[in-house]
Amino acid sequence: MSSKEKPTLGGTRIKTRKRNIAAPLDPAAFSDAVVQIYLDNAGDLELVAKSIESSDLNFSRYGDTFFEVVFRGARTQPGTFKLDEGEHHPYAIIDCEPKREVILPSVIYIQKILRRKPFLIKNLENVMQRFLQKKLAIFTALAFSQKLSGLPPETVFQPLLKDNLVAKGLVLSFITDFFKEYLVDNSLDDLISILKRGKIEDNLLDFFPSAKRTPEVVSEHFTKEGLLILVEYNEKKLFDVKLKEMKSALTTQLAEEVDISDIIETVKQHVKDAKFPDIEVVRILWDVMMDAVQWSAKNQQQNANSALRQVKTWAPLLNTFCTTGKLELELMYKVQIQCYDDAKMMKLFPEIIRSLYDQDVLAEDTILHWFHKGTNPKGRQSFVKALEPFVKWLEEAEEEE
């Protein structure tokens, strides 16, 4: 054999790699076949499910088309809600009455299909995102109520937030119907859990057309729809956000040692904008003041000095907003709770109360009322005992006068 000749293996067949030949797509024929199953079984979903299970149709390739037939009755034109040419059946979810008892069997039917063919969940998501109608809102609510296998909320709700759909009011109508139906069988906490998983808990305003994105419009809309529980939840959430904003602003001002008069104006502006109750303002002021203290992990005397110095420094701020006996009593309860919950402040209760009295934040009547008739049980017995010498002094001074 010359050096230029290539060696060969006698009697050996050399195999060539076969090309992957894709079968041509034919969603129309698939759609007609599924429609025929519905027609043959007169829309009986139990029988339809059995026929689909025993069929050799290519669901992995035509999953979207299958759910178009389920929801719409036949294949739809690409990117639209309109039916395409071909056979269709009259048992579609979109064509049935918008009642839960009518739609629930379809949810159970799809659940059976998904148990056998879990890969279809993605196709279900794809189709659900395109059909924003009342009946589908009911279907979605029932699907989550029935814990439809593998249906993640974020894939259902996130695509709703498209500007063109929101502007037309389609999204608001859909989400309202969903809320109403879901809350029939589930609690508000269940609903909030789904909204959190769908990453839309903080986006209720985003479901409204841009010109209507105000808290007042949101409250009016959901009140009119009988969703007062959702109105109350949203108002509380907005309240908490504004409360947090106020607390953040005050924390910054205290850290920068801004003049008290400026801080008072900041508080007044926030109270005016958010309509905060006076009691809530007193609670926040105390929290912000104590959060600003540089606490020591070991030196108790240093902690006492720091806390009392803070009270003395910012007493005019408390004084401005503790304008009634009820608010003063609320402040005492706030001090009581913090001293009970925070070990490093446990022994500071009588000294803080005495300091607040010396700074004219707490009146004598308020302290005596708390001492004799206070209702908060947290650490009360030990705090009453610790405050007893000061109360005795107050009562003796009152008798002398």
Whether 169 and 37 share a structural domain: yes
* DSSP code for 401: -
Whether 278 and 212 share a structural domain: no
User: Which DSSP string do the residues of 332-367 spell out, in sequence order?
Assistant: HHHHHHHHHH-GGGGGGHHHHHHHHHHTTSS-HHHH
What does the pLDDT read at residue 131?
Answer: 76
CATH of the domain at 379: 1.25.40.180
Rg (CA), the chain: 34
Residue with tokens 């907005």, as numbered in its chain: 238
What does the pLDDT read at residue 16?
Answer: 44
- Residue 131 inside a domain? The answer is yes
- Residue 9 inside a domain? The answer is no
- Residue 76 inside a domain? The answer is yes
Q: Dihedral of the CA atoms 100, 102, 106, 109 (nearest 10)?
A: 110
How many structural domains is the chain composed of? Answer: 2
Whether 302 and 254 share a structural domain: yes
Q: For the segment 158-182, what is each residue's pLDDT rounded down to a tens digit?
A: 778 888 888 888 889 989 999 999 9
- Amino acid in the structure at residue 341: D
Residue 83 pairs in a beta bridge with 76
Whether 197 and 62 share a structural domain: yes
Q: Is the pLDDT of residue 18 over 50?
A: no
> Inter-axis angle of helices 380-400 and 349-358, to 10 degrees?
30
Whether 389 and 353 share a structural domain: yes
What does the pLDDT read at residue 230?
Answer: 92
What does the pLDDT read at residue 24?
Answer: 44
Whether 240 and 223 share a structural domain: no
CATH of the domain at 222: 1.25.40
* Of the candidate ranges 112-121, 131-140, 312-321, 379-388, the one whose mean pLDDT is the lowest: 131-140
Whether 191 and 242 share a structural domain: no
What does the pLDDT read at residue 51?
Answer: 92
Q: Which residues contact 346 (CB under 8 A, 6 or more apart)?
A: 339, 340, 379
- Residue 208 inside a domain? The answer is yes
From the number of C-beta atoms within 10 Å of its C-beta (0-12, 13-18, 19+), residue 385 rates as exposed
3-state secondary structure of 243: helix
Whether 106 and 251 share a structural domain: no
Q: Which of 209, 227, 245 is the endpoint of a domain?
A: 227
**75 and 83 in contact (C-beta within 8 Å)?**
yes
Whether 190 and 302 share a structural domain: no
Mean pLDDT over the full length of the chain: 86
What does the pLDDT read at residue 265?
Answer: 95
- Residue 45 inside a domain? The answer is yes
- Residue 127 inside a domain? The answer is yes
Whether 278 and 350 share a structural domain: yes
- Residue 12 inside a domain? The answer is no
Report the alpha-carbon angle 156-158-159, nearest 5: 80
Whether 196 and 333 share a structural domain: no
- Residue 4 inside a domain? The answer is no
What does the pLDDT read at residue 19?
Answer: 42
Q: pTM for the complete prediction?
A: 0.68
Residue 166 domain boundaries: 27-227
Whole-number Å distance between alpha carbons of 70 and 99: 17
325 band by pLDDT with thresholds 50, 70 and 90:
very high
11 band by pLDDT with thresholds 50, 70 and 90:
low
385 band by pLDDT with thresholds 50, 70 and 90:
very high
Q: Which of 207, 227, 247 is the endpoint of a domain?
A: 227
Higher pLDDT, 26 or 354: 354
Q: For the segment 212-246, what is each residue's pLDDT rounded down to a tens digit?
A: 988 899 999 999 999 999 999 988 888 888 999 99
Nearest to 69 by CA among 84, 58, 57, 54: 84
Whether 284 and 200 share a structural domain: no
Higher pLDDT, 135 or 19: 135
Q: Is the pLDDT of residue 14 over 70?
A: no
Handedness of CA 32, 37, 42, 46 (dihedral sign): negative
Q: Is the pLDDT of residue 106 over 70?
A: yes
Q: For the segment 35-64, what is each residue's pLDDT rounded down to a tens digit?
A: 999 999 999 999 999 999 888 899 999 999
User: Which DSSP string do the residues of 153-194 spell out, in sequence order?
Assistant: HHHHHGGG--HHHHHTTHHHHHHHHHHHHHHHHS-HHHHHHH
Q: Which of 204, 227, 250 is the endpoint of a domain?
A: 227
User: Which DSSP string do the residues of 54-102 spell out, in sequence order?
Assistant: H----TTTSHHHHHHHHHHSS-B-TTSSSB-SS---S--GGGS-S-HHH
